[in-house]
Chain A
């Protein structure tokens, strides 16, 4: 039976049916395998033996593999899924599991390991880091193969006893949709030999037949015992061959350890594995058809490496071989597959058993790191290199290396795809449903016709206003094109503004169709296009159609969801299916997809289809493109050189064209670059009403993107203000005559509306009008752009004069701005606040997660600098080690301070005594103290110029360390509560002066909403599809239990003054400080413009406690804990009823939900009672204690 699946689902379908225990942990791009298994088990789907597999989420991949190890030892059939850093965390256990000859399959969506940068995309650097562990490694290069080889791996591991890593390329295969012939349960039964399962169970640990495993050996025995397993490795390749043959008998699909494709007398051959082998097959077949003697070996079983089988697969005529590795091992003699091939050949030659006619010349190449495109043109370039007398070795292909000149050139314009392959490209937004509709299209065509279908989806790195590009192919033959569509006969753009941001016709093939969603009709649209688009339409003789998809979507009551409308346009114009049949098929698909969302959703989508057909209009294309405006530059002219040369290319989607020389060599990038990327994604932005404003600055406080700024300035500064620049008298308590302006950055607002919701100032005559109101951007943008530029140049406030309260904090310059976080993000306001208060002296260690992505994903990053060039210095190490990483920052900063002070001591005699004592004894607890110390450092440096010698030079270098540094350790709840908790807990046990900010969204937000130990009772999340059954971990209480840790639980919208105070106290506390921040997130499933009210309800119902625990209070005879939530005056049930994550549980099972609500209410009461008792504790001092003892 054939279905449209991606490899993650195709693999999970096999793994779930062949397992009893599934231990999971989320990591991109492998998470969907675990999610599917969790959903299926939650829905009662059974394995091959009639049981529902038990799915258990762990705190890390190390935990997942430990659980698998235990389950295997105790006799279960167990599996897990992972990638990249997750796989690296499993390595210690892989050695153990292999050493104990324990059968299981680990399915890996192979992903880049973080080096100079993190990348979520695909290559083999993770799996290659496991090749030495003793696991067998089986590689699939397509979705069908991933499905098939998953089953083969399960069969072979049981017979061979060697654990298998079954891997396929992350994203390119894991997320590619293809038509897959699905294995039935019956197929699987025929593949799996029950006798091997019995044998596995017979080896299990049981007190009924006790044995010990995991003993410790001494030099006398370890070595021999290690060699004792050799026979199993020797036997393994033959067992895999047997499993593959059995598979061919059962299904008719045949695979070998090494599959050869190409000319039977090839002279030039490629050896590679993974999805690249598919593109290589396409290129090789094309070349062979043109008479070239070339071929390709696809590696399937990579470990144990059967060199003889590899050589046997090559034609005897082979003269030159290029071994292509999708990984890089700097400093190695070559990449791993290359070394293996060299070794196999060399040994065969030495032992005179090589089947080849002559010893071939072998070269090595790298391609496709981090999902870099690997196209037939690149393959042909490699084959062409092999024709040269002295082919380049250790080359790269797919990039331009203008530094070490190792890259091969290729013909980017070459198109070898057959003309009957329908190729379509759709530009859309992550929020408009384009990807979902295209997935449906592929399902329609793939399941309704004989055509093969393929879909692959490219996302940009933003979380708000992100663009998507969908690449679709339909072909009468199986599709091996594992690369993006290069020449599209159909291009659709679902958002009118994208034509001004991206080169949307870059891929449009001559004579193709271009469909644009635009409010303009066929007569007006031409004038709205940038010249580049108009010219491309004319030059390439495109047929140009328009439709107002937004109007259709509005009319049917699905505002913004233009995807179904555009999908109808595709079927009407592309001719993939006859029109009537296509429309009927879309209707069926809509019914199928949306049925579970309800009849209303179905009806509205169907109405959209009907209306779409009527909305489609063809545009008469003029003979020549009339001169129209060019597309605006990606960055403004005043942007710095690096931004002009490098960043702008990345913003424009042309990063592939940048050569090696453009890049920093060590992953070090300039900060403050989001200011140059003017995204202009909001349809409405806030407008300030200066007459109504009470200058509370709450709007600026909550703005997640730092687009609302407040300044107080001298009236004289208004000279030269643009017309319409709003300004009003500053309501100063000291009666000073200054002006106040609240300014919006119009191009950086996401339109979330939080500022308006939080604004307390209402017009008395018309209370819906506030001091800040959302207005359509079209009427405001031009004016506010000018105003913003003027505002930026108004002087910044003197930090020494600002009060330490909500209002004062928002007069400080944010050094975290315009991030790519979601509209309405609940995390970023905290980071912005920290940046305002301490950013000019902050070091930030950021755990991997949302905050490391919106904080550090290229092309632009939001951590910024002040006029003096100071600002947060930021780095991300890993997910699991952030507490330790930040501790390292503190230790280094302290060491630098100590070095500076020591040097200062050494030079004290040559410096004014007052300056030296000032520097050494400075009180840096206030802004004034910091400023004074900075002034002293300047004075010191001036004096050092006149003091010769190395000590003086060293002090000059070290002097900045005399100014106090603020170390912030930032991460989400996945880090703090789960994977990083061990390190975090250790940090609590130290006296290090670090500030830990936990942005608690109560879910793994970045990887798509998996539960964490912070997830509250009753919430649905991935891995907790039925709703979490137990309460949230009390992280604050755990930290308080140490006694010396400052702890605060804060909620910025509900208790802003407390939050601002807590963050300042945490920073001032000279030891570890933990601040847990309530962070509304789109994974909570409600309109985040309401998150202010919802957070208030969280606090008032007690579900989110607000408190400060300051150990300093003990010395004053007070209890350290102060509860600041106020009395409980709302019901937990009301709080829960307003968020989709809870509602999803209610919709699924009302009775369970009612129980969970009751449990949540009890949980809240009990926690509150416990906290109150803690807050009421009186600690007797020593004298009182002695007196008590005396009595």
Chain B
């Protein structure tokens, strides 16, 4: 938990966690009895599933159960499918949860091995979308805004986490190999690797341009990297992909390389677990492992009124059950004790200006939040720069009235998207 400094004139200053030189190997979490895979697709597709409960699956097997739909997950264990249910995530994202009871004996699937003789884009697209780090391959085929630069971020995008830093420090050869593979897959030569902190030694040979990123939050946000490192400001409402730049975590790059060198689809995710006292521990667990398994392996007791956060304290999301599985993009799991849970209030904005002074994007938040509270999202976007928000969450942290500003901003963008897509359908 952070505290406002006694000298209130001083701005709140948050820094990313820096992994020291003492690197401890991550603790391995054994394969749990039951794993859950979340397949991102419309729940209407459940009826067309070819996969049924009782079907056996093998480790590394590609499960693409819906007819006429490419969505797939990679099974991370050998066993029997026990249930196929729907699951709704943040902002109404719909998933199908496939639960698998694991066998004690592990059977490896060799479909990928048989077809990976050559490194191609299609292969990566068809088999490697769910590898740890969750790379997004579709963007490489976008003809409207062809990608010409890939930025690999060698740090973590939220506070307290050290997952990606550990990978780049412990496995620099893996990164080098991953960069080679990535160049072939994406057909992009301009690869930049962004390293947090001062140290830039030892990264010279990995085939990418090395850039330095400040430790101050939120300098690792794509918007800030684009502005400070590449010198391009992303226009409000657009993404870096519109400018031909895409971002990837170093974990995704290493996983890509590993997939082709081991001829196996990587299924083990590296995670920083932050306990109630903010002690950090790196673990490695298979994708699909329920969080409860990780907590019991690390001896973390959970009680009512506590908070489980997927991701870091600034931009993560909470889950309501410890049955929630590890996902390909779960880089951190944070547990917050009941006494540390800060609640929001329904007070109006008192116009103190703390948010204005901390906002890295110069948004007039004091005005914006008034429009968002009233549900006037269009005015908020037109007159008060809703789309300039880079979603760092700093405004909510310093808000004297404890308004959930960041939540209002996300909600505003979400509602506007819904309105816009509804209009597009009607036309």
Do chains A and B interact in one complex? no
Q: What is the interface of chain B, defined by CB distance below 8 A to chain A?
A: none
The chain A residues found within 8 Å of chain B, CB to CB, are: none
